[in-house]
Chain A
Amino acid sequence: MTVLALARKELALYFTSFLFYALATVFLLLAGYFFYTNLGFFVLMGGVNLQRGLWQYQLLDLQRILLVLVPLFTMRLFAEERKLGTLELLWTYPVRDADIVAGKFVACLAVVAVLLAGTALHPAMVARLYTVRVAPLLAGYGGLLLLGAAFVACGLFVSALTDSQLVAAAATYGILFFFWIVTWNEAAISDTALHLLVPLSLFDRFYPFARGAIDTRDVTYLVLFTTACLAFTLLALDTRRWRGLR
């Protein structure tokens, strides 16, 4: 129940802040623009003959927008609370740290889910003219949500380390970007190194989802990544508390 109360307060703070509406607008405009260009490309290049389907392009683009926007949603979660001094107050209520972390995580993930739900408009539009296969698309959106959860958890952890929202956002970009590009420089690293690194890349984990395939290994990795970040968040809070830092 306290988790729910904490999540409700976070949502209330999101929905009363101008930043949320600005970011939501940017997200939906970018998603719409990507959909427009992807659809154009798909139609001009002969659609069905392409190796990748329309939705695969679109899902991969949505993933990139998430990378750009999620750190801006997560940066305030703990940093703002610390700056305002309200974290000190939260710590005097009969609430566990785990409840605080869970409440913030759930609220921020709900915001990401709402934004993703907004992009369901695009398949709905196509479905009026053309048959859209729902199952692979659902798998893709499921993957986006899992990836979103991983991003949110990572941002939450970084936000618990600082009282500056700017630092929180910048560091989250750094970490997420690293997990994206970790497999890019294939030529420079050996096969074995690449073999070890590929499983670590958050973004490589998403390709199967974009194709409409749910691989339990990918699901497990994303869930583990999220859980680890949440555990680190708890640890960060606890350490700061024992040291007497608020």
Chain B
Amino acid sequence: MIEVRELSKSFGAVDAVAGVSFRVCRGEIVGFLGPNGAGKTTTMRILAGVFPPSSGTVRIAGRDPLREPLECRRAVGYFPEYAPFYPDLRVAAYLRFVARLKRIPRAHRANAVAEVLAACALEGVAHRRVGTLSKGYRQRVGLAQALCGNPPILILDEPTIGLDPGQVVEIRDLVRRLRGDRTVFFSSHILSEVATVCERVIVIARGRLVGEGTPDQLSARLGRRRRVVIRVDGPADEVTTALAAVPGVLRVERREGGLALEAAEGADVVRAAGAAMQQRGWSILELREEAIALEEIFLRLVSDGDPRS
């Protein structure tokens, strides 16, 4: 549904996006991840038709936004960062205005507005001015306008930014529910959020693509290493040497309250380390396997672009 090839956008001397390529298929829910200033918003604005790219091609539902801008925009519901709004319009009146602009025929307009009001749980505030609503409700109004007209593609730019944790969960659930058979492209700078909502993640940093795949695939790019945490009642230096000698252990690191072993793929380090300690008569106080946190993968991806370093 969304296809981007060698996309670049520069503002004067600043290259906001430099040669990014990816695609998002029909019905997929894809996270667009990157630190602030990575070029996420610029990419999304280009996809939504706010401005054209400096170079590269974009296809929205198979169409070129430069050639058929109106058709492309009709296929996309866009939620801009910070959800701008007209403070003096009432929620229902604003959504009716959006429905008219999206050329929903008069006969279906009332229905379409009622539908998005219900989908975003806004019925209770339909007659309030948008400016008097709380931040969480405003974000929902922003989602409602994106959803209006039932576009096949949703582009959501940081829909949870600036919300309190409860509201974040609400919006996240809403996005998941809205999904249906839509294609959703969702940006965030928080990895755990993307991991809970999205099936696939595209990671961008400094205007370039640095990673792509499911959260599992991204971990795999780190070499499928695992980490074992062990706490042993014994002489620290000897324990460290003994553990380093266990087959499959790549690295031993001292951490607060124990030792962390980085284990090679496929090695049964937990069992082997346990046996080695028992042999020497040291009691094991704690022994567990720890997943390498997604946050760590993300940080490694964006800090240098090479996940193996």
Contacts and interface: CB of A to CB of B under 8 A. Distances in A.
A94 B101 contact: yes
B258 interface: no
A195 interface: no
B97 A9 contact: yes
Contacts of A13: 86, 88-89
Contacts of A16: 88-89
Contacts of A17: 88
B183 interface: no
A86 B70 CA distance: 18
Contact of A244 (B49, B51, B88): B51
Contacts of B82: 85
B78 A89 contact: yes
Interface residues of B, number: 32
Nearest to B71: A94
Contacts of B61: none
30 contacts: A2-B100, A4-B100, A5-B101, A6-B101, A9-B89, A13-B86, A13-B88, A13-B89, A84-B86, A85-B84, A86-B85, A88-B45, A88-B80, A88-B84, A89-B78, A89-B80, A90-B101, A91-B48, A91-B50, A93-B98, A93-B101, A94-B70, A94-B71, A94-B74, A94-B101, A94-B102, A94-B103, A95-B73, A241-B50, A244-B9
Contacts, number: 81
A88 B50 contact: yes
Nearest to B87: A84
Interface in A194-246: 241-244, 246
A49 to B, nearest CB: 52
Interface string A73-89: 00000000000111011
A92 B102 contact: no
Interface in A1-43: 1-2, 4-6, 8-9, 12-13, 16-17
Nearest to A85: B84
B115 to A, nearest CB: 18
A246 B76 CA distance: 19
B145 interface: yes
Among B76, B82, B88, B89, the one with the most A-chain Cβ atoms within 10 Å of its Cβ is B88
Nearest to A83: B84
A65 B88 CA distance: 28
A96 B103 CA distance: 12
Contacts of B45: 88
Contacts of A244: 9, 11, 16, 42, 51
Contacts of A4: 100
Contacts of B145: 89
Nearest to B42: A244
Given A2-B100, A2-B103, A244-B9, A91 B88 contact: no
B84 to A, nearest CB: 3
A89 B100 CA distance: 14
B185 to A, nearest CB: 13
Given A88-B80, A91-B49, A92-B49, 18 more contacts: A1-B103, A5-B101, A12-B88, A84-B87, A85-B84, A88-B84, A92-B50, A92-B76, A93-B73, A94-B71, A94-B73, A94-B103, A95-B73, A241-B51, A241-B52, A242-B51, A244-B9, A244-B11
A50 B97 CA distance: 53
A-B residue pairs, 8 tightest by C-beta: A85-B84, A5-B100, A92-B78, A94-B70, A93-B101, A92-B48, A16-B88, A94-B74
Given A16-B88, A85-B80, A89-B78, A246 B50 contact: yes
Chain B interface secondary structure, helix, strand, loop or mixed?
Answer: mixed
A86 B89 CA distance: 13
A1 B104 CA distance: 11
Interface in B250-275: none
Interface of B: 9, 11, 16, 42, 45, 48-52, 70-71, 73-74, 76, 78, 80, 82, 84-89, 93, 97-98, 100-103, 145
A87 to B, nearest CB: 8
A86 B100 contact: no
Nearest to B106: A1
B102 A93 contact: yes
A230 to B, nearest CB: 20
Contact of A2 (B11, B42, B51, B101): B101
B70 A96 contact: yes
A94 B101 CA distance: 7
A44 B130 CA distance: 55
Contacts of A241: 50-52
Contacts of A92: 48-50, 73, 76, 78, 80
Contact of B101 (A88, A95, A243): A95
Contacts of B89: 9, 12-13, 16
Contacts of B97: 5, 8-9
A5 B105 CA distance: 13
B248 to A, nearest CB: 52
B40 to A, nearest CB: 15
